[in-house]
């Protein structure tokens, strides 16, 4: 689905949350940098990332923090051996 904003669109809140977590893993953003939350777009009805406002609380859940750190370490190890 295309949006007039030009941003990537996600069909549901859950899909957008997972995509934001994957974005944190892929780009290893420092605290408070990069996209920090998701929102439902009033133009297209899909979900997008935002880098302004309040950081999503789910990004600070212990389970998510541990998962992000673990997947970054795994990626770094894989890069080291390739």
d(CA 8, CA 13): 13
Is the pLDDT assigned to residue 77 strictly greater than 90? no
- Whether 38 and 57 have beta carbons less than 8 Å apart is answered as no
Number of other CB atoms surrounding residue 34 within 10 Å: 15
Q: Closest by alpha carbon to 32, among 53, 58, 48, 1?
A: 53
- Whether 43 and 6 have beta carbons less than 8 Å apart is answered as no
Q: Sketch the domain layout of the chain as residue ranges.
A: 13-81
- Better pLDDT: 4 or 16: 16
What is the DSSP secondary structure assignment for residue 56, as one 8-state letter? P
Q: What are the pLDDT digits (tens) for 11-50?
A: 999 999 999 999 999 998 887 789 999 999 999 999 999 9
């Amino acid at each position: 689905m295309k949006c007039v904003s030009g941003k990537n669109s996600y069909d549901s809140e859950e899909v957008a949350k997972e995509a934001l977590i994957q974005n944190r893993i892929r780009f290893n953003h420092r605290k408070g940098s990069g996209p920090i939350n998701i929102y439902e777009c009033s133009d297209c009805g899909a979900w997008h990332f935002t880098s302004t406002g309040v950081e999503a609380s789910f990004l600070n859940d212990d389970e998510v923090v541990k998962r992000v750190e673990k997947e970054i370490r795994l990626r770094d190890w894989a890069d080291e051996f390739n």
